[in-house]
Structure 1
Amino acid sequence: MFLCLMLASLWLAPQALAANPDGEIGQAVGTVNADTWRQVKDGENSIDSRHDSNYSLINQSGETWRQIRNRWISPGGLIALGGMLAVLAIFYLLVGRNDLDHPRSGKLMLRWTALERAMHWTLATLFLTLAITGINLLWGKFVFRNVFGDVFWANMIMATKVIHNYVGPLFSIMLILVLAKWLKLNLPKKHDLEWFRQGGGMMKGKHPDAGFANGGEKAWYWILATVGLVVIASGLVLDFPIFGQTRDNMQWANVFHGVASLMLIAVSFGHIYIGTAGTEGAFEGMKTGYVDETWAKQHHNLWYDEVKQAEAADPASDPATAPDDSLARQQRPN
C-alpha cells in the first residue's frame, strides 16, 4: 500500500506542477552555516521556488529604510517639532507679544483681498489636515493603540491614510496656485538682509524696513517653494504607484517625504506663532483683509509709504468705495 502511494505521488506531481507553474515546490538545501546567513544578510540574489522569479531572501534595502525611518526620522522629527514649540514658548515668556508702539489710528488699509484670504485659509486647512494625519501615521500608534486598543487603532489609521492620500493632491494644486499668485510680492530685496540682521523686528523697539512682505514672510514663501515641492513630488510618487516605481523608489520617496514634511511643520509653527499670539494685529489682517495704518507703518513701512504716495498722486481715488481687487492692485508694490 505504501509503495502504491509513493508511485502515485511521483506520477501526479509533474501534472500538478504543469497545472500550476507558479506554485511553490520545496527544495532540499545543504548545511546552513555562517556563510549562508552572511549571503542572506547581504541580499545575495538566487532563484526561489516560484516559476521564473529571482529574489533575495531578505530585502536589505527594506531593512535600511526601516532603520532610517525608526531610528532617525521618527525621533529626529519629534525633537524638531518639540524643540520648535519649546523655543516659541520660551520666547513668548521672555519677550512677550510684539505690540504696537503707538495707539491705533482707526484708519484701515486693505492688505489682503477676499480671493487672497480664501486661498490662504484653504491652503492652511489642507496643510493642517495633512500635518495632523501625517503625525498620526508616524507616531499615533504609540498613543492611540495603547490607549484604545487594536480595533480602534486599525479603523483610525485606515481613515487617516485615506484622508491623507486624498487631501495630498488637493494641497499640491492649491500650493502651486498660491506660489504663482504671490511670486512677485516675495522676490528678495536688499533691505530683506537688514531685516534679518535686526532680528525681524521681533525685539521691542526695533522695526527694520520692510515692503509688502518682510524678510520672514519671504523666507516662508521660498521654503514652501522648495521644501514644499519636495513634499508634493515625493507624495505623488507614493500616492500613485502606477508608473513603474520600484520598491526602492517608494522607500526613498517615503524618506524624502517624511523629512521634508517634518521640516515644513516645524517652520509652520513659527509662521503660525507670529501671525497669531506673537504679533498684535497680524491675525486681523488675514481675517478681515484690513490692517490699521499704525500697524502698517510699524511692520511694513516701505509698503505704507508706497500706498500713501499712490494716494497723493491720485487724490480722486476713494479707498472706502473702491472694490477690494482694484484697491489691492493700487496698494501692491511695482
Structure 2
Amino acid sequence: MSTPHTWLVFWRTLAFALVVLGSLSLSTTTALAQADPEREISTAVPAVDADVWRQVKSGETGANYRDSRFDSNYNLINASGETWRQIRNRWVSPFGMIAIGAMLAMIVLFYLIVGRKHLDEPRSGRKLLRWTILERSLHWSVATLFIVLALSGLNLLYGKFVFRPLFGDAIWASMMSGTKVLHNYIGPVFGILLVIILAKFLVRNLPKKHDWAWFKQGGGLIGKGRHPDADFANAGEKVWYWLLATAGLAVVVSGFVLDFPNYGQDRDAMQWANIIHAIGALGLTAVALGHIYIGTLGTEGSLEGMATGYVDETWAKEHHNLWYEKAKDQAVDVNDPGQPSLGNEPTSPQRSS
C-alpha cells in the first residue's frame, strides 16, 4: 500500500471517528437533559381534564387544547397515523427483512456453488490507472456513510426486537437515542456526496448497445467463450449507478423531509416520506450486499483497483475490454525501475471515460 493512500485512510478514519464520538456525546447530553425531572415538568403538557375532553368531542379548540402537529385538522384519534403504522409494521418491515435475508442467502449459496471468479490468465505485472485519488476518496466516503446509515437504520427499524430483550429498556433507549442522532446527522452529508459522485460518474454509466449482451451472458457466467464486452463500467455497475440515481435520491429527498420537519410539510407528508425512505433504503441495502460481494470476495482484482487506483492489465482485458483497448498504451510495468511509482498517479489521467 502506498504512503499517500495510507495517510488518506488514516485521516478518513479519524474524521469518521470524531463524527461518531461527537454524535454519541450529543445524544448522551440529550438523554441526561430529558432525565432531569425539573426540565421535564417545565415542558410537560398540562393535564387533560373533563372540559378538554368535551371540547375535543365537540370539535372546539380552546386555550387549554394543545395540538403539536403542523396545520392539523385531525381529531384526537388519527386514523392516518394508524394506516401508516400498519403499512410499516405489516408490510415494509417484514418484507425488508426478507429481501435482505434472501440476498445474504443467495450470496452464500453462490459462493459455495460457483466460488470466487479468478482471472483466466496470469497477471501481467503491468498496471493501468483506473481510479484517481479524488474518485477513490469519494467512493470510500460514500460507501462508509452508506454502511453506517444502513446499520443505524436497521437498528432503528429492528433493534427493539433484538437489543431490548437482551439489555433492557435503559441501555436500549440510550442505544436508540445515539443511533437516531448519528443517522440524522450523517444522512445529509451522505446526500450531498451522493449527488456529487452521481454527477461525476454520469457519462461513464450511460447505457450502450453492448450492455444488453452483457446481461444475456450474465456478466460472463452464462455460456462459454470470451467475456462479454464492457467499457469503463459494465452493465451491472450501470444498474447499481441508476439505482442510486433513482431510489437513492428518493431516499435522500425523503430523508431531508424527515430530518427537517420545519419547512411546511404536514403529518401526512411525513408519514409517506417515512414509508418511501424505508422501502428505498431497505431495497438499496439488499442490492448493496451483492455489490459489496462482487467488488471484494467475489471477483479477483476488483478490490485492489479501488484500494490502490490501479488494476492489472489482465483484469482490464477480461472485465472491461473496450476500456482496455483505449487505455492500454498507458500501462505501467511495476517491475521496471524506470517507471514512476504507482503511489504518485496523476490527478487527471489521460484515459477514456
TM-score, normalised via structure 2 length: 0.77
Instruction: Mark the CA change 1:181 to 1:56 in structure 2 (over 3 Å): closer, same or farther.
Output: same
Query: Aligned pair 1:47/2:59, yes or no?
Result: yes
Match of 1:153 in 2: 172
In 2, Cα distance between equivalents of 1:59 and 1:324? 60
Match of 1:242 in 2: 262
Q: Which runs of 5+ in 2 are unaligned?
A: 1-45, 66-72, 332-337
Match of 1:192 in 2: 211
Q: What is the SS of the residue equivalent to 2:311?
A: strand
Instruction: Mark the CA change 1:326 to 1:168 in structure 2 (over 3 Å): closer, same or farther.
Output: closer
The amino acid across from 2:325 in the alignment is: D
Match of 2:17 in 1: none
The one of the two structures with greater contact order (alpha-carbon pairs below 8 A, sep at least 6) is 2
Query: Aligned pair 1:117/2:117, yes or no?
Result: no
Decide which of 285, 288, 312 is 1:265's aligned counterpart: 285
Decide which of 305, 311, 317 is 1:291's aligned counterpart: 311
Query: Aligned pair 1:233/2:257, yes or no?
Result: no
Q: Which whole-Å deviations, capped at 9, do the CAs of 1:152-206 have from their partners, x for residues lacking one? A: 0000000000000000000001101100111111111100111111001245855
In 2, Cα distance between equivalents of 1:325 and 1:63? 57
Aligned CA-pair RMSD:
2.5
The amino acid across from 1:59 in the alignment is: N
Partners of 2:217 and 2:223 within 8 A in 1: no
Q: What is the SS of the residue equivalent to 1:291?
A: strand
Cα distance, 1:57 vs structure 2: 3.2
Match of 2:189 in 1: 170
In 1, Cα distance between equivalents of 2:327 and 2:304? 19
Partners of 2:133 and 2:309 within 8 A in 1: yes
In 2, Cα distance between equivalents of 1:207 and 1:111? 19
Q: What is the SS of the residue equivalent to 1:155?
A: helix
The amino acid across from 2:50 in the alignment is: G
TM-score, normalised via structure 1 length: 0.81
Identity %: 58
Q: Which runs of 5+ in 1 are unaligned?
A: 1-21, 31-43, 312-317
Match of 1:67 in 2: 86
Decide which of 125, 136, 150 is 1:106's aligned counterpart: 125
Greater C-alpha radius of gyration: 1
Match of 1:300 in 2: 320
Q: Which whole-Å deviations, capped at 9, do the CAs of 1:261-297 have from their partners, x for residues lacking one? A: 0011011011101001110000010011111000000
Partners of 1:98 and 1:203 within 8 A in 2: no
Partners of 1:23 and 1:51 within 8 A in 2: no
The amino acid across from 1:47 in the alignment is: G
Q: Which stretch of structure 1 is more off in the superposition, 269-278 or 301-310?
A: 301-310
Q: Which whole-Å deviations, capped at 9, do the CAs of 1:44-80 have from their partners, x for residues lacking one? A: 9951564497541311000000000100011000000
The amino acid across from 2:204 in the alignment is: L
Cα distance, 1:237 vs structure 2: 0.2
